[in-house]
A and B are shown apart, each in its own frame.
Chain A
Amino acid sequence: MRRATMVAGVLVTALALTACAIPRERAAEDLRPAKIAVAPVEVEDVVAKYREVRSAAVDALDAKPLSTVEAGPVLAVDTGTFEVAELLEREEFALDGPFTVETTMLPRFSRYPLWFAALVRDEETGRRQLQVYERTTAADPWLLTANPELAGDTPLPEMRRVGDATRRVGVDDGAGMAAAPLTALQALAAALDEPEAEESAAWAEDPFVVQMRETATKNAELEGSNFAQSWAADEQVYALRTADGGALVFGTLLRQDTFDVEAGLRVTWPEDSPQRAFWPDGVVGRGSLRYYHQVLVRVPPAGSNESAATLGTFGGVVGSAGQ
């Protein structure tokens, strides 16, 4: 019996050793093109390159190099921030020290554009940003397109993963969720745009909404001018499925603040404010500032007692009109 076992073992081993790398034809259903946005080991390289270029831009207080590593609202906000910093002779924060990628969310794609998210903690400041990098075509570099910063140690929900890949959600796909990703962002914009509307009540206690309403209230109290504010949701949205069936949504809200100054008056703002940077001599007549606010919104699954909420934000002035 022992002899038989030995012979069988020799045969099995010989066959296994020779068969382990034998070419085989892949099944037809496996031939569809697909890939995870980026290999997990390459995420740190992408983040490190971004921080290196941003650091150089901050050192030179010149936003031009940022266009090689940023795009869309992030580039617009950073360009605006640099402009304000330059006008106010203020130092911009570099975020160029050591960092840790705490977690990655790597969706699978069958065609470009590709994108992924990485939660990056700056070791010097402890700031945590859930950054989205996008590659439009295979000939383009990775560009930072969303950069919401989490407040403190705000925990992120568990994501739904299949192997190394994180599940995506279509921007209009509300199946199994309280709302589709784009719809949730539009509801948030509507809550900011019309605080008195009945639908806005669901967002009344959201920290971002509270902060924005306070700012709007202060602006409205400015003597000698009429203040108006409008909000809208940009259609560029990234959404990932959470383990509980909800979604984590990255979006951008467009905000416009308009000041109508009463005839014969000139309104000036305190030093160190964005308004002072764009209107150093104050505003006569009408002036408006445009802002981008990137938000990270948690959309709960359908039937949940939770309501949608912002987990992180990033924004700033991107343009002005009037004098």
Chain B
Amino acid sequence: MPALAVALAREPIPRVREAMMTALIRIGNAASIEVLLPYLRSQEASVRAAAIEALQALPEAIAPFMSPLLNDGDSDVRLLATELARNMEASEATRLLCELIEHEHHPNVCAAAIDVLTEVGTPEALPTLERCSARFAATPFLPFAVSIAMSRISGEES
């Protein structure tokens, strides 16, 4: 596995890089996750995107890594990690994302979490969303995002 990690880092040919990612998804265990995680910090947007997609395809294997990722010191990592909850079971995804939102200072990280909740969130997210909207009342976009998320989750007009 470490050999694959090194190869992945240096691989310039998209077809080969794609195949390595696919291989990691197919193996799908904790070791694959550990190979992929460092790429969330890549300077290259295309590498970050590929890593997120591969990790997202492994919702069960990624579960134990979610808490550390959502508490990472780097807001870019927290932001990308919210996307990993998208394929998780709804109540677990809701719990993780709400925990994040409650103490998250960065508006863009909250926005990313709200986007995922809009699709997968359960009604348990509603109080957290309401508090988030109040906290970021003066920030562009966030109150809008919360109102849409709340209406989609509750199934009722905001």
A in complex with B:
no
